[in-house]
Every structure is written in C-alpha cells, then in structure tokens.
C-alpha cells in the first residue's frame, strides 16, 4: 500500500501528485503542467519500460520499506 501511495504522488497530471503540483505551482507553470495530462499515462509507461521510474522511485521505496521494518522491530 505504501508503494502505491508513493507511486500515486508522482507529479504527472493524471495521478494525484500531478493534481497537487498543478494546485501549488504558479499560474503559468500550472497551465503548462495541466496541458501534459492527456499524455500522462504514455509518459508513465515510457518511464516504466525504460527503467527511469525505478531509478527514481526505487531508493524511496527501499527507504520506506526499511523504515517500516525498523518501526515494526523496535
């Protein structure tokens, strides 16, 4: 579940992280990012198949995993 939360917070517009980013960015950047939304899933698929997605999120997943192991053991 934690992995899905982290994945969903990627700042690409069809995901919730993209919607948060659109809300937090200044107007011009927000408009530019919202224009990417029709291509968001294609971007995600390309990032997934090229391995870039794992290179970026992998260390974060491992940190969260180890954090919960430490909390559970202690």
Percentage with pLDDT > 90 across the chain? 19
For 47-67, letters b (16+ CB in 10 Å) and e give beeeeebeeebeeeeeeeeee
- Does 74 have pLDDT greater than 70? no
Q: What is the pTM (predicted TM-score) of this model?
A: 0.69
Three-state DSSP class for residue 5:
helix
Neighbours of 13 (CB within 10 A): 21
CA distance 36 to 18: 10
pLDDT at 2: 76
CA distance 66 to 74: 12
Mean pLDDT of 11-36: 89
């Amino acid at each position: 579940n934690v992995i899905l939360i982290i994945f969903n917070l990627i700042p690409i517009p069809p995901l919730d992280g993209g919607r948060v980013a659109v809300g937090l960015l200044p107007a011009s950047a927000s408009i530019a990012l919202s224009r990417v939304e029709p291509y968001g899933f294609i971007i995600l698929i390309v990032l997934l198949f090229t391995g870039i997605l794992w290179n970026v999120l992998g260390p974060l997943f491992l940190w969260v995993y180890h954090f919960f192991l430490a909390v559970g053991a202690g």
